[in-house]
Amino acid sequence: MSTANDKNFEAEASVAPKVDTLGLVRKAKAGDLDALQQLYVKYVNRVLSFVYRMVGSKSEAEDIVQDTFVSAYQKMSELKEDAKFQSWLFTIARNNVYQTYRTRGVAMVSLDHPAKADERPVAERVAAKSKTPEAAYLSDELDHVIQSALSLLNDKQREVFVLSALKKLSYEQVAEIVGRSVGAVKMDIHRARLVVRERIKNYLRRE
């Protein structure tokens, strides 16, 4: 599975402060596609992870993320506060996720037939990530455990938990994205954490 490792997070964290996000948003508003690409590089993994954890299929998640960035570029003029670009982007992604739910009738893919995050053959993925087969297997299994834990949550709990689990999103930003109060969001995140922790704790005990 193509999980982002710590090195990627560190790289993103070290690059992020240097990027003038506001400047990029202003340029993208003026139609600068290069600026949008830089914003894409900065946010795509977080948006993709959110969408993937909500729909359970990477190929479907990438389609949704594609629609999200295309919509964002076309509706840039509707963004009133440039500083809130990240929340606005997640709101578009969230709307697209719920649109997908409505189209297919169920929220997440069945746990009986869980979608893999990466549909490529295992050998190819292992080669691509330079991981040992054991590491790839463990990664896939952990991903399945996380996904099965998320499937125990209702839609509201899942979305706030997933958003809060992404780095750099505060309770206030999560509340803004989902259009709920900070108190209600905190409560749902707490309940969701209990469920997910319990599920993973049981998995670790079995191991």
Rule CB under 8 A: which residues touch another protein?
1-6, 8-9, 33, 36-37, 40, 44-46, 48-49, 52-53, 58, 62, 65-66, 69-70, 73-74, 117-118, 139, 142-143, 146, 162, 165-167, 190, 193-194, 196-197, 200-201, 204-205
Amino acid letter, residue 47:
V
Going by C-alpha positions, the residue among 160, 44, 51 that lies closest to residue 98 is 51
- For another protein, the closer CB: 118 or 159: 118
Write the Ramachandran bin of 5: left for phi over 0, alpha for psi from -120 to 50, otherwise beta.
Answer: beta
How near is the Cβ of 142 to another protein at its closest, in Å? 5
For residue 45, the minimal CB distance to another protein (Å) is 6
Judged by CB, which is closer to another protein: 48, or 178?
48
Give the chain's end-to-end CA distance (angstroms, integer): 20
For residues 74 and 179, which CB has a smaller minimum distance to another protein in the complex?
Answer: 74
To which H or E segment does residue 186 belong?
helix 182-206
Q: Kindly state the smallest distance separating residue 105's Cβ from another protein, in Å.
A: 25
Closest C-alpha among 67, 99, 85, 51 to residue 168 = 85
Minimum CB–partner distance for residue 61 and another protein (Å): 8
Inter-helix orientation angle 58-74/33-55, to 10°: 140
Considering the complex, state which of residue 140 and residue 176 has its C-beta at the smaller distance from another protein. 140
